[in-house]
Amino acid sequence: MGGVEPAAPSGDRVIVVVAFDQVQLLDVSGPLEVFTTANRYGARYDVRVISPTGLDVLTSSGLRIGADTDLEQLPRHVNTLLVPGRSDWRQAIADDVLVSLVGGLAARALRVASVCAGAFVLAQTGVLDGRRATTHWELASQLAAAFPQVRVEPDPVFVRDGHIVTSAGVTAGIDLALALVEEDYGADLARETARQLVVFMARPGGQSQFSIRMTPQPPQHRLVRRAMDEITADPSLPHGIGALTARLGISTRHLARLFRQEIGMTPGQYADAVRVEAAQTLLSSGLASVEEVAQQAGFGSSETMRRVFQQALGLSPTVYRARFRTTTAPAPAPVALSLPSSC
């Protein structure tokens, strides 16, 4: 068709969300709510939903959503392409029309993002070749097997490699969208958006999809279970390997070997992970100073806690508290230390 392409209003950032049959509803609606809510606080997002056929699509939950634009209505360049996923990713990547649409849009986008199994569609187009990427932890091993040229990281909430960002399952799309809002308009606007949606400010991308207390493979050995129970019961107590082995009546070498075999980390690494979780909850509550949090969580000093936080999250406890204080009574924040791959 001829004619002039419609342009976005001056200053607006065009966000194109691809919808298709059996797409996960929250993969679409979660980021959409973030971007449109951000507009209430000064953002300038022009959010468009497009489908391969140009028609409405039936989501995985049975709810029908409409496509409000088509290729002819898009400007030549878009700011962000967002690709959600569906649980049966094989059906998605077998849809040549869908893959062609995504591949063409990816070439026009300044930034490309996926939620959950949307990473499979991006991988099918080839845009993830040689790049780091993530998806829902349960699908990570399948992504790695189906696309060996993609460097899959199963643990993080989201992974950025250049202009491409891939995120974990369902609600991680909200974290991803908030991170994009912060990138575009700053932390204050993103924080206001998060407060309005009654969610935590975007979790750092490197944060684990898992809680340290919910390891995907529970330990079988009773001594490992006992040591883990002691650490999680009160992380402020001395939990060095010497103290643990004295209480358990075994050698340090034996306990270290059992921990590595059972959960893939040392007792010290596990204790640090538990302490990070405890500190996250305390920092989010805002009821204690950073030094008090360090003592209560078992770090001993704020400097030690800062060092561990920096290594685990890439940000300091003070910055973490500023980012996550979005409600007066926040729920416990998820763990921020990566666990070994289990997919």
Q: Give catalytic residue positions.
A: 116
Give the DSSP per-residue string, 164-208: EEEE-STTHHHHHHHHHHHHHH-HHHHHHHHHHHT-PSPPPTTSB
Distance (Å) of CA 337 to CA 29, 103, 201: 28, 34, 18
Radius of gyration of the chain (CA): 22
> Rounded to the nearest 5°, which phi and psi values hold at 80?
-140, 130
Contact in structure between 172 and 159 (CB atoms under 8 Å): no
For residue 150, which of 119, 172, 175 has the smallest C-alpha distance?
119
| Whole-Å CA distances, 231 to 222, 273, 338 | 14, 10, 18
CA 142 to chain centre: 18
46-72 b/e with 16+ CB inside 10 Å = b? bbbbbbbeeeebebbeeeebebebeee
In this structure, how many other beta carbons lie within 10 angstroms of the beta carbon of residue 253? 10
Q: How many CB atoms lie within 10 A of CB 138?
A: 17
